[in-house]
Structures are given as C-alpha cells and as structure tokens.
Chain A
Amino acid sequence: MKESNVYVQDLSRGIIKENPVFRLLLGMCPVLGVTAFLINGLGMGLAATAVLIASNVVVASLKNFIPAQVRIPIFIVIIATFVTIIEMVLQAFQPALYDALGVFVPLIVVNCMILGRAEAFASKKPILRSLLDGIGVGIGFTLALGILSLVREVFGQGTILGPEPESSIHLFGEAFEPMGLFAQPPGAFIALGLLLAINNIIFKKYNL
C-alpha cells in the first residue's frame, strides 16, 4: 500500500502541486516563446515531455557511474542526445511544427525544468520512480503550455488549432477583431501573469 502510494505521488506531483510552469516557474523560455498557437504549445510540451522522460530514465540508470564533480555536463550531454533525436523526428514527420517552433527545439537542451528534474530527482531515485516523475512533470508542463497557448490563441487570433487555414476554427464572427497584444511577446508575459494569479486563487481556495 505504502509502496504504491509513493509511485502515485511521483506521478501526480508534477501535474498540480509542483507544476513546472505555474508553481515552480521553470523553463519559461519556451513557455513565453512558442505559445502563440495551441498546436505549437502542445507540440512543444510533448517534445519536452519526451526528452524529459528519456533523460530521467537514462540519468536514473546511470546515476552510479556519474562522478559528482562533472554531473551537470553529463546531464546536458544526455539531454542533448534526446533533443537531437526529437529535433530530427520533428523535422522528418512534422515539418510545419518544426518550422513554427524554430530555435526553441534545440533550446530544450538548456531547459532548466529538465535539468532540474535530472539533478533534483533522477540522479537520486530509482529508475521506475524517475520514469513516473518524468511523465508527471511532462504532463504538467504540457498542460500549462496548452492552457497558456489556448488563452493566447483565442484572444490574440480568435481561432483554435491555427495557424493552418484548413485546420483552424474561427470562434467568433467576422466582426471580431483579435486583441493583437496576446499574439505578441509582451502579451505572453501579461497572459502568464494573469494565469498565475488565477491559479494562485484556485490553489489557495482548494488548498492544493
């Protein structure tokens, strides 16, 4: 009973209680950079999740062979390997998404959320728990990016599932003029700030 409880905690911790975006404010660069459209936000979230899970598992399995003095460079090399794989996969199978994410895909290497999980969790815990932790934090990250990019796309573009015209759904009538602020970088900061405020109210109210 107690044993399984730990695993449930590892999985659920990253989603709300230690949500990397809304609670820890880690990995802000892609959060602010690629969330103009829902598809980009979710794509970024899933790419980072894949890297996070893989790096967590590898770091956890190699933890006894990594010298403490050079652990950060080794973590970075491990993360960079998976980022390169993800980058090539995206380029081959999702070229539109790859173009939209641009420089933010290689920048996953230095995403402090992934490095943070490797340093704080995977390098000290068993493989299975690191795997669950990676899945949980990844879900939390993807969820947060999804919410932020949804808000930004709905208000900033008036669509969902843009920017391709065939898939995008226009939510409002022709007369609607989107609020360009949310489509632009300063709007990302303001939208994130407002979402953080709303989150804090909800978290406080339900004592999460």
Chain B
Amino acid sequence: MIKIYEKLIVSSSPHIRSNESVQSIMLDVLIALFPAALMAVLLFGYRALITMVLAVGTAMIVEALWLRKRDVFSDGSAAVTGLLLAMTLPAAAPWWLTVVGSASAIIIGKQVFGGIGYNIFNPALVGRAILVVSWGGHMAGDIWPSPQPFAFGADVSAVTGATVLSVPEKAVMLSLPEMFIGNMAGCLGETSGLALLIGGIWLVYKGHIDLRIPVGFIGTIFLLGLVLGGGFYGNHLMTGLFHVLAGGVMLGAIYMATDLVTTPVTPNGRLIFGIGCGLITMAVRFWGTYPEGVTYAILIMNAFTPIIDNFTIPQRFGEVNESA
C-alpha cells in the first residue's frame, strides 16, 4: 500500500533551486568582458594589459585583506569590479593611479557599506569618480599613442586620452564604422562598441541583464542626440548614432547600469533607471563642464534606485485598485 502522505511533504519555499551562484554570474560577466578586454589590448597594446592585470589584482588582494580571507578570487565580484574600473582608465594611466582607484573602489565603493549586495553605488564607478576628482589631468589628458597592430587607417586615431566628445571637431574625421570597431580616442574598454555588444548579447542570453536598462539608456541618448545634437556629424540621424558610440555609453549601459546590486528590481523601474541615466548623461554632455557624463549619470541614478523601486512596485494578479 502506498502511503500517499509520504509523497505530500509540505516544506517552505523556495521549492525550485537554480544552479546559479554569485560566482557563476561573476564568471559570466568576466567572460562577457573578454571581447572588450581583447580589443583594448589589440588597440592600445601591452599598457592596456598591464592596467587591467594591475586593477584586477589590486581589487582581489584588497578585498581578501579586508575580509581576512585566503581565497583571493572568492565570489569573483572583486575581479569584476577591478576589470570594469580598468575599462574606464586611460591606457597611459600610471601604475599608482590604477592601484589607488582599484583599492578605493573596493574599500569606499563596496566594503564600507557592508560588502557585496549592500553597496549603494557601483563600486567601479566610485573608484573612477574618485580618480577623476583627484587626478583629472591623468584621467583625461595623458596620451598613449596606439602601436596599431591593426591597420585600420592611415591616421593614428586610437589613442587613449581625452574622449572624442571633448574635441567634437576631431570626431568628425571618424567614420561611424570606425567608431563602432573602436578606432578612436577614449578609455581602455569604452571605444569598441562591437566588442561590448558581443559581451552584452552573451549576458542577455545568460539572463543576467534586463534589456530595459541598456535599451532605455542608449535609446534616450540616441533620441536626444538626434533632436538636440544639432546635426554636427553629417546629419541628425548620424549625430544620434555618434552620441551612442562616442564616450562610455555602450560600456556604461551594458555593464554598469545593469549591475544587479545597485539598480531597480522592478521592470518599470529599470526602464525609468535607463532613461534617467540617458537624460543625465546628455545633460552633462551638452551643458556640463565635463565632456562625458556616463559615470555621474549612473552614480546619480544609483542614489535614486530605492525611490524608483518604491514607486514602481507592480500590481499583484487579482489585486484591486482601492480608489476604483
């Protein structure tokens, strides 16, 4: 006789467990960043590799020291923070700049709030913001001419230095396909839209990022570039695309504005978050003192995340609006 009650075990949720762990997600993000890292090394040479290794190493060691753990890789989040920070640095960054930025990203950006899952702001961007405020000259002005292993064109335009946004008349010389591949001035990981997009598709396929944030972010940039850009880059449509490809929009929209910890969890909230990032970025680009505003846009929207979440709680199925 089958004792049916033995099959009707009632336990509390969760009933479905996933094999995903923090470590597996972080590994996926590292894999997604690989094309961009490869492009950085191809475009900017060995200095890019040194900067990335230094940033990742510092981040992992500082986190291990802070948590008093032997396991330096641990959940992998420190490695992701370090690599993302390296992506926002110029290739000519002196070694101490990378080390200070990486250490402050981990300590001030993450650990003082209580570690992974508790940080309010994206740690890599906190590190970058601290570096920009402290050593703005190094972050914008240092020029490192690319050795150009790729024969893209005759002129050496792939230098890390001031982003093309700070000298728009120079940008007019670049064609959109060139910008898409990454043959332009900028930080290590932000120039190649193609490589970033490949990584982004991988993240979407693995289900780690919600398309609403990058689509809202990039869409807002495109529309505002179209409407307000003044068509300086050929025509209005091209100007919109220029604003998407120039600077750090692709990197920020795909990898930083989609951070699991510091962004809203509700679907509508994510759309609002992305659009807000786009609006602030374009406001800084058009009217601000800095040429680029992605860093500050994402940090400011990070601060709004709890409010956005609060106002966009979805209605449960069957719930009736009280006022109706």
B16 part of interface (Cβ distance < 8 Å): no
A84 part of interface (Cβ distance < 8 Å): no
Q: Is the CB of B100 within 8 A of A179?
A: yes
Q: Is the CB of B134 within 8 A of A179?
A: yes
B147 part of interface (Cβ distance < 8 Å): no
Q: How long is the Cα–Cα vector from A177 to B105 in the complex, in angstroms?
A: 19
For residue A151, give the distance in angstroms from its CB to the closest CB of chain B. 14
A180 part of interface (Cβ distance < 8 Å): yes
Q: Is the CB of B112 within 8 A of A181?
A: no
Q: A179-B100, A181-B130 are in contact. Are A193 and B112 (CB under 8 A)?
A: yes
Q: How long is the Cα–Cα vector from A47 to B100 in the complex, in angstroms?
A: 36
**Chain B 110-159 residues near chain A, CB threshold 8 A:** 112, 130, 133-136, 138
Summarize B's interface: helix, strand, loop or mixed: helix
* Residues of B contacting A197 in the complex (Cβ-Cβ under 8 angstroms): 112
* Residues of B contacting A194 in the complex (Cβ-Cβ under 8 angstroms): 108
A190 part of interface (Cβ distance < 8 Å): yes
* Residues of A contacting B133 in the complex (Cβ-Cβ under 8 angstroms): 180-181, 184, 186-187
* Residues of B contacting A181 in the complex (Cβ-Cβ under 8 angstroms): 130, 133-134
How many chain B residues touch the partner (CB < 8 A)?
9
Q: Is the CB of A180 within 8 A of B112?
A: no
* Residues of A contacting B108 in the complex (Cβ-Cβ under 8 angstroms): 190, 194
Q: How long is the Cα–Cα vector from A182 to B130 in the complex, in angstroms?
A: 10
Q: Is the CB of B135 within 8 A of A177?
A: yes
* Residues of B contacting A193 in the complex (Cβ-Cβ under 8 angstroms): 112
| Interface mask (B78-108 → A, CB under 8 Å = 1, otherwise 0) | 0000000000000000000000100000001
For residue A120, give the distance in angstroms from its CB to the closest CB of chain B. 31
Q: How long is the Cα–Cα vector from A177 to B135 in the complex, in angstroms?
A: 8
Q: How long is the Cα–Cα vector from A48 to B169 in the complex, in angstroms?
A: 54
| Interface mask (A178-208 → B, CB under 8 Å = 1, otherwise 0) | 0111101011001001100100000000000
For residue A80, give the distance in angstroms from its CB to the closest CB of chain B. 37
Q: How long is the Cα–Cα vector from A194 to B136 in the complex, in angstroms?
A: 23
Q: How long is the Cα–Cα vector from A180 to B135 in the complex, in angstroms?
A: 7
**Chain A 126-178 residues near chain B, CB threshold 8 A:** 177
Q: How long is the Cα–Cα vector from A80 to B134 in the complex, in angstroms?
A: 38
Q: How long is the Cα–Cα vector from A187 to B135 in the complex, in angstroms?
A: 13
* Residues of B contacting A180 in the complex (Cβ-Cβ under 8 angstroms): 133-136
* Residues of A contacting B100 in the complex (Cβ-Cβ under 8 angstroms): 179
- Across the two chains, which residue of chain A brings its CB closest to B131? A181
* Residues of B contacting A190 in the complex (Cβ-Cβ under 8 angstroms): 108
Q: How long is the Cα–Cα vector from A201 to B130 in the complex, in angstroms?
A: 25
- Across the two chains, which residue of chain A brings its CB closest to B94? A177
- Across the two chains, which residue of chain A brings its CB closest to B137? A177
* Residues of A contacting B130 in the complex (Cβ-Cβ under 8 angstroms): 181
- Across the two chains, which residue of chain A brings its CB closest to B107? A194
* Residues of B contacting A177 in the complex (Cβ-Cβ under 8 angstroms): 135, 138
**Chain A 93-108 residues near chain B, CB threshold 8 A:** none
| Of listed B100, B112, B133, B138, residue having the most chain A CB within 10 A | B133
Q: How long is the Cα–Cα vector from A187 to B129 in the complex, in angstroms?
A: 12
- Across the two chains, which residue of chain B brings its CB closest to A187? B133
For residue B45, give the distance in angstroms from its CB to the closest CB of chain A. 24
Q: List 20 A-B contacts (CB under 8 A).
A: A177-B135, A177-B138, A179-B100, A179-B134, A179-B135, A180-B133, A180-B134, A180-B135, A180-B136, A181-B130, A181-B133, A181-B134, A182-B134, A184-B133, A186-B133, A187-B133, A190-B108, A193-B112, A194-B108, A197-B112
Closest 8 CB pairs of A and B: A181-B134, A180-B134, A179-B134, A181-B133, A181-B130, A180-B133, A177-B135, A184-B133
Given A177-B138, A180-B135, 13 additional A-B pairs, CB 8 A: A177-B135, A179-B100, A179-B134, A179-B135, A180-B134, A181-B130, A181-B133, A181-B134, A182-B134, A184-B133, A186-B133, A190-B108, A197-B112
